[in-house]
Amino acid sequence: MSARLPPLPTLLVIPTGVGCAVGGFAGDGLPAARLLAAASGCLVTHPNVMNAASLYWSDRRIHYVEGWSLDRFACGELALAPRPCQRIGVLFDAGIEPELRLRHRQVIDACRASLGLTIGPVLSSEVPLGVSLRLGPSGTSWGSLERPDALLRAGERLVAAGATAIAVVARFPDDPDSDALAAYRAGSGVDALAGAEAVISHLLVRHLAIPCAHAPALQPLPPDPGLDPRAAAEELGHTFLPCVLVGLSHAPDLRPEPAAGLLRGADLGAVVAPAGALGGEAVLACAERGVPLIAVTGNPCLLQVDGEALGLEVLAAASYLEAAGLVLALREGIDPLSLRRSLGARQ
């Protein structure tokens, strides 16, 4: 019997709020993440890929790492230390109405009773956080926070009370009649919430250096018979919190030193990203070190920052199915170019 194949740590990046056809909706990047985890044996990705509102998928081969810390990991400034469970503190925006807050508290109770997660303490910010949403000139989503100071103070209180990871629930503006929301629900738009969510989680992780992720608090929408399947996960319940709690429950700790025995950016053997979205810090840091870059041409988005524009050598994959095959070839020590025809002469 052959020896078990060692993992090939792989980074999966699907940028937030840029309209990716795969991974730009409600956890619709999860099947790709599961496949790449199986092909690589070790996948590092971010909540935007894994979060499907009321739906989730636990896989110990997948490391759930917030976007800012994922960039720092890829740059070699942070290492990942897997742990069996996190104590998740929950931070509620003071602007959430009582009934909507009750729905989120019931999610916490359900995850403790039915999934056995360690959750608490739970507290509220001193004042409403004041989330606002906007779209950039290119159509990508963004947002801002009126009271970042209140967010950070509440995070500090949770850490002082024993939390090792933080789930944030901020009240987002309801705009059920907007054209942008209608387009998103029909499968042709951009997630208008994603940019502001990234701002919130980035602020907390930079300040506290622990895993954090965000779930927006919104009033439920009326049923839509034309709903795109990729957006459907967000409409199954009253909150988006379940997937965040499950993801954070086994998120790795963040270590400032790339110590021996931890997962480091230098250990990465491949990075997978949409072909038009290669300009992010994590992807460029990997490319600079010569990590094989698999560019998925079958995942279009609003951006057009491809390998040719950046002068990068990439392995093109028409889909995540093909990307998984390339990862497996790299893991087996097979030159991916040897699988293409014609071979040509290598210099």
| 181-237 confidence digits (pLDDT tens) | 899 999 987 888 888 888 999 999 999 999 999 999 999 999 999 999 999 999 998
pLDDT at 135: 77
Distance CA 93, CA 87 (A): 20
pLDDT at 346: 59
SS3 39: helix
The closest of 272, 168, 260 to 210, measured between CA atoms, is 168
127 secondary structure, DSSP code: S
Cβ(300)–Cβ(276) under 8 Å?
Answer: yes
| The model's pTM | 0.94
Angle between helices 67-74 and 194-208 (to 10 degrees): 60
pLDDT at 347: 56
Q: Which two tokens stand for residue 261?
A: 């025995």
Q: DSSP states of 318-347 as a string?
A: SSHHHHHHHHHHHHHT--GGGGSS------
Distance CA 131, CA 108 (A): 23
The closest of 251, 254, 255, 262 to 89, measured between CA atoms, is 251
Distance CA 204, CA 166 (A): 9
Output the CA–CA distances (angstroms, integers) from residue 320 to 46, 263, 269, in the order listed. Answer: 16, 24, 17
124 upstream amide cis, omega within 30 of 0: no
pLDDT at 269: 98
pLDDT at 128: 96
Can you list the domains of the chain with their CATH numbers? 10-82+255-339 (3.40.50), 88-243 (no CATH)
pLDDT at 3: 60
Q: DSSP states of 267-292 as a string?
A: G--EEEEETTB--SHHHHHHHHTT--
Low-confidence residues in the chain, pLDDT < 50: 1-2
Distance CA 69, CA 267 (A): 16
